[in-house]
Structure 1
Amino acid sequence: MNSDDIERVRQGWAVAAADPEALTTAFYGHLFRIDPTSRALFGEDMAAQRGKLALTLDFIMGVLDDTDTLVPAARDLARRHVGYGLRPDQYSHAGAALIHALEDQLGTAFGAEDRAAWERVYGALEAVILDTISET
Structure 2
Amino acid sequence: MDPQRLKDNFAQVGGHGMDVAEYFYADLFERNPHYRSLFPASMRRQQEVLLGALSQIVSLVDDPERLVPYLEDLGRAHAGFGINPEHYPEVGTSLVATLKYFTGDDWTAELEKDWAEAYGVVSDVMIKAAGQK
The alignment's TM-score, normalised by the length of structure 1, stands at 0.93
Matches within 5 A, 1:1-136: 2=1, 5-136=2-133
The runs of 5 or more residues in structure 2 that have no matched partner are none
Please give the alpha-carbon distance, in whole angstroms, between the structure 2 residues aligned to 1:30 and 1:71. Answer: 27
Q: Which amino acid aligns with 1:76?
A: D
Alignment length, in residue pairs?
133
8 Å contact from structure 1 (residues 88, 130) kept in 2: yes
TM-score (norm 2): 0.95
- Calculate percent identity across the aligned residue pairs: 29
Structure 1 CA distance for aligned equivalents of residues 123 and 83 of structure 2: 13
Instruction: Using the TM superposition, give the Cα deviation of residue 18 of structure 1 relative to its aligned residue in structure 2, in angstroms.
Output: 0.5
Determine the C-alpha separation between the residues in 2 that align with 1:20 and 1:35.
Answer: 24
| Matches of 1:12 and 1:41, distance apart in 2 | 29
